[in-house]
Each structure stands twice: as C-alpha cells, then as structure tokens.
Structure 1
C-alpha cells in the first residue's frame, strides 16, 4: 500500500528507530522507522539535542485512527518534541492501530482538480451570473481531509474577472473549498464565452490546477425585437436595386435561429441588430452569396433605409 504526503520532516532529535514523520494528503500520521541508526547527543536538552546518522529503512507505519484535525495537531507536536521516540510512545504506541505502507517518494503536491458551475446555467444578455470555482484535494478524505489552500483566479475570455482566496477548512471536515465571482452576461464579443479558473496553492502541500467551460448567452440577436411577439412570416420589400434585379417583396421565415429567405436565388439573413449595448430594436439585412452560387451585389445596412423596407404579417 502506498501513501501520498502533504508534509514530512526528519525529527530534530531522532531516536534510534524514528527516522521520518509524515502528514498524509488525507490527514493521517505516518512514521518511517529505521534500524541500526546511530544517535549521538550533541546538546544538553531540547529539540536538536540528538543527531541520528546511518541506519537502513525498516518499515513505514500509517495510523488511520489519527485522521482529521488530530493528525495535524500530532504533526505539529512532533516538530517541537524534544525526542522523537518519546513522541511516538506518548501519542502513537499502543494507542492507535497501524498499517504497513510504502513511504512516500516525495512530500507535497497533493493532487487537486478544478470544477466550474454557473447560476443561472443559461444566462440571458445583461443577466448577473454567479460563477463558482471548486478546488478539490482528490488525495484527501471527503469528510476529514485537508481542503486546498490558496487563491483562485477566474477569467472571462482571457480577461481576469476576480481573484479570491479559498476559505480555510477549520476544523478539517471536507477536501474541497469554493470561491464565487459575479459576471454580467453579455453579447460582446460574441454570445459564447470561455470561463476559466486557475488555482495557485499557498503552500507546497498542494499542486496547482485549472479548468475552463463555455457559456452561451441568449438574447444576442437572431430574434427580431418585435413589440407584439414573433410573427410567423416577415415580408421584405426591396426597391431601387437597379441592375442587380432584386426589386420585389419576399417572404422570410424563422428557422429557429434567424429569419431566412431567398432574394433572386441568394440566401438572405434578417435579424435583430445586436451591435449596441443593449441591443437596439432595429433590423439589419444582408444578402450574401455562397461560393459558386451567385454574385453578391446588394446589401442593406439598416431597416427603413432608402434601399429597402420590411413589414410583418401573419
């Protein structure tokens, strides 16, 4: 069985058998024991009074019963205890059961993952959106593990919206924490936006992580701003097109995204003018030609212009 450690240290005053103390990513104490270690007294008393050299790895014991806030307390005590062997006898020996494990290859860099959520999930133009970024220590216990500590930077389309510090989990009761920012949904530069979050750990206990998601804002053009509801059909009248031969009245139908029709065989797009903020209730008309289909020769910039008019009908 292998374990991952948030922190570890070699006791200042090791015993002949206590070589290293670990605080695991899921908040448990583990101790690596050695045999054949030579210990020499170098100070009269206190931490650092004994120095240990030599010896060979023997076993590493994990103490599951210490999990949670207790493990952090014991780890802090071990760092200040005058003699590592006495610390083991005082707090672990015959007090907690143990499992034999492989000692961690490194200390720190507990794995984190990032997740984003939005409320509302499908915002409309101008609506306030709460963005929540949750950072989880996936090497930790969901109920007694250590939650990541550090800051989270949230950005929209590459522009930083906010930087928040993850709240501390005291006492340890979860392996995740969240921060929130408020963003006003908009149609600029488009209706689809990329939301990203980056977690920067405050200590080497945890690894960094990042995540991103796309949000599509509704109300960004497409549906004409009709004051009396959406008609089934729009009739477009074009006059003065000259040699282009586009004069006439044409029906336009709603396809679920925009009004569409055909003017002399060329597709037509007719939609609400969303260029302004907030969008105006004017209309724009573009007659365009797909490659190899027909020749583009006419464009109406705004409704009510000298080149064309529109009217709604059933």
Structure 2
C-alpha cells in the first residue's frame, strides 16, 4: 500500500536524521552537517508525501469529479522547494569553513554512525522506488529519488571526510559540503520541474502516446476508420486519455458503443492507470491522417 510506504519513509527519515546529527556532533564536520540537513528535508518531505497520499486516495466528489490525485504533485513541489532551502543552508555553513578550515575530531565513531544511516537510506530508497512504480505514485517516486540522491551524496561525504582525516587537508570538508549543496540544488529544481508539469496537465511523452496510437490502430482494424485528436494528461497515478473514434456512417449506435467498451477494457489492461474518454464520430469527420 502506497500510504504504508510513506509511513515507513517518515519513520526511517527520523531515525536517519538522529544518526546523522549524532555523526555531526561527534566530528564537527560541516560536510556531515550538510548530510544531516538534507535528512531534515527528508523528514519534512516524507510527512508531506504521507498527507498528500491520504488526500489523493479520496474518491471523486461533487467539487472534484476527476478525483484528488493531483494532491501528490503538491507534495513533490514542496519537497523540491525544501531541497533548495537545504542547499542554501549548507552553503551558508560551509563558506566560512572554506576560508578558515577547522581540524575534525572523533572521525572513527562519527563516520561509523553516518555509514549506518546511509545503509538504512539505501534500503529505504529501493523500497520507495519499487512501491512508487507499482502504485504509479509521483509522491513516492519523488521521495525515493530524493532519498537515493541522499545515499549517493552521503557516500561521497563519507569518503571525502575520511580522506581529509587521513591527509590532514581539512579544507576538503567544506568543499564537500558545497558539492553536496550543488547536487541537491539540481535535484530540487528537477523535482519542481516534474511536478509543475503534472499540475499544468502535461501529457505523456511522445513515444508513449505513439504506443497508445499504434495499439488503437491495431484494435480498430476492420471495425472503425481511424482515431484522431488523441490527447493525454497526467494526474498523479492516473493518466487521462481522450480521442475521437471515426466509424462508418451506417454503424448502429449499439455496435459503436460495444466497440468503445472493448477498446476501454483493452487499453486499461495494456496501459494501467488510464482513464479513457472516447468521442464517436461518423465517417464524414474522417481526417485521413
């Protein structure tokens, strides 16, 4: 269940935040602090995803006849904004250290605690991405990609901080923090871009639209004349599809209706998550494209 994955994400995010904060407290490393700040964003994002999923699962009502699935995009937008804020906070902490490097202490225990947190995050990222794809949930997929980026940056931070301890090049610590900030800033912009596209009724990629078109052409062969004006739009785990189906002018209404029902069932089976609207037209409306 998508909501169960979101609850797990929140619990693990809180645990990882505690571990990374402990790692920073043991070492005083600004790079590990940057890692902890990103985990703070994970907690807020996991909470937002959980709330959004609860709203999104509500059935259609009088005020929302198409459902509430777009609520998930608000969660993903919020997560992107929080990531950007975290990047700015990291840069604020790292820049003074870049000019005045500070030796680090307690690296052994601190890096061990941080490694444990990174392993937990890795398992969580895998679980969120799997559940997000299974439930076609933008909120879970965004959360999973964010956690995965946290794993990658944490790994880099661990290696870099360890190297600075071995070499005594303490300036590596703030440099790593700034690299982490730049990386999560990029991730934040990507998250916002994807989610805004969903809120603006962005359609499926052209290659997916062509797959649907080819599927329909194969299914209507010998029974209808053409499909045109095919449009799609995303809404969380659902994708709304509409198109015009041109049938021979003497086709009985009952036969045209039966063909529409068959197409809807076939499309729903081949492309899960589709909500389909078909407009039947007579032969005179044929575009011959």
Query: What TM-score range do you get, normalising by the shorter chain?
Result: under 0.3
Normalising by structure 1, report the TM-score.
0.25
Normalising by structure 2, report the TM-score.
0.27
- Which has the larger strand fraction? 1
- Which has the larger helix fraction? 2
Structure with max Cα Rg: 1
